[in-house]
Amino acid sequence: MKVLVPIKRVIDANVKVRVKADKSGVELTNVKMAMNPFCEIAVEQAVRLKEAGTASEVIAVSAGVAQSQETLRTALAMGADRGILIQSDVALEPLAVAKLLKAVVERESPELVILGKQAIDGDNNQTGQMLAALLGWAQGAFISKLELADGAAKVTREVDGGLENLSLKLPAVVTVDLRLNEPRYASLPNIMKAKKKPIEQLTPEDLGVDVAPRLEVLEVVEPPARKAGIKVESVADLLDKLKNEAKVI
């Protein structure tokens, strides 16, 4: 079984995001970048499937600027076999990414696509579902458990009301949640080995996909600072303020 794992390069989760002075977007110059945390979980799950003998090959694919190759090298160091970089300097929207991934799926013919449920920069939570729709494949979103057997993927989904168990006929698309696994750290020997693993470079034009933006960003602003809280002397004072000042009761 061939497994495809889309990954994204984002601002490191531990870095404070700053808005550009002209409010055209967020500042990326001299900012530490890393693999999207949910993508790390997806790579880890694919590598575990290979280690278990269920998957024969793990392919990491990323769409974005040339520096995304560094993120692909991280995935290769974690255990992916090869990478595909779809280089584009255009800000890629979820539908454009889904169309690019669809073209890659048609080239590579994987039986399973595992990707993060969302990226921590845009928080769109759309690409996986759009990809499944474009392919006409079964999908399982927000999974916290995955088992493959008898040509099906048995998944546990985290939903508002609790947990939902599904059996998806392969091929399928699944998006992973935080509780699926704990991603490994790439060892130094594996980081060195990753430098020799192949990364194929493509462009949207090579795949016949139009990635022109459909949305225009008018302005990006930071959220307003929270007002300082106050202390009250008693429950009666609290209820009085909630009723007469906040007017929430």
pLDDT in tens, 118-151: 999 989 999 999 999 999 999 999 999 999 988 8
Rounded CA separation 172/111 (Å): 7
Report the candidate in 183, 199, 182, 210 with the shortest Cα–Cα distance to residue 68.
199
pLDDT in tens, 220-246: 998 888 888 889 999 999 999 999 988
Residue 10: inside a domain: yes
Residue 236: inside a domain: no
Residue 240: inside a domain: no
For the domain that residue 55 is a member of, what is the CATH number?
3.40.50.620
Rounded CA separation 4/244 (Å): 57
Q: Is 113 helix (H, G, I), strand (E, B) or coil?
A: strand
Rounded CA separation 27/215 (Å): 20
DSSP character at residue 118: -
pLDDT in tens, 22-60: 998 899 888 999 999 999 999 999 999 999 999 999 999
Arithmetic mean of pLDDT over the chain: 94
Task: Give pTM, 2 decimals.
Answer: 0.87
Strand blocks (E) in 130-170: 138-149, 152-159, 162-169
- Residue 170 contacts residue 111 (beta carbons within 8 Å): yes
Q: Residue 64: which domain range?
A: 2-223
Q: Is 136 helix (H, G, I), strand (E, B) or coil?
A: coil
DSSP character at residue 19: B
Residue 62: inside a domain: yes
Sign of the C-alpha dihedral computed for residues 211, 205, 87 and 3 taken in this order: positive
Strand blocks (E) in 8-72: 9-11, 33-35, 57-64
Residue 239: inside a domain: no
Residue 246: inside a domain: no
Please give the tally of structural domains in the chain.
1
Looking at residue 77, its pLDDT comes to: 96
pLDDT in tens, 62-110: 999 999 999 999 999 999 999 999 999 988 999 999 999 999 999 999 9
Residue 231: inside a domain: no
Residue 162: inside a domain: yes
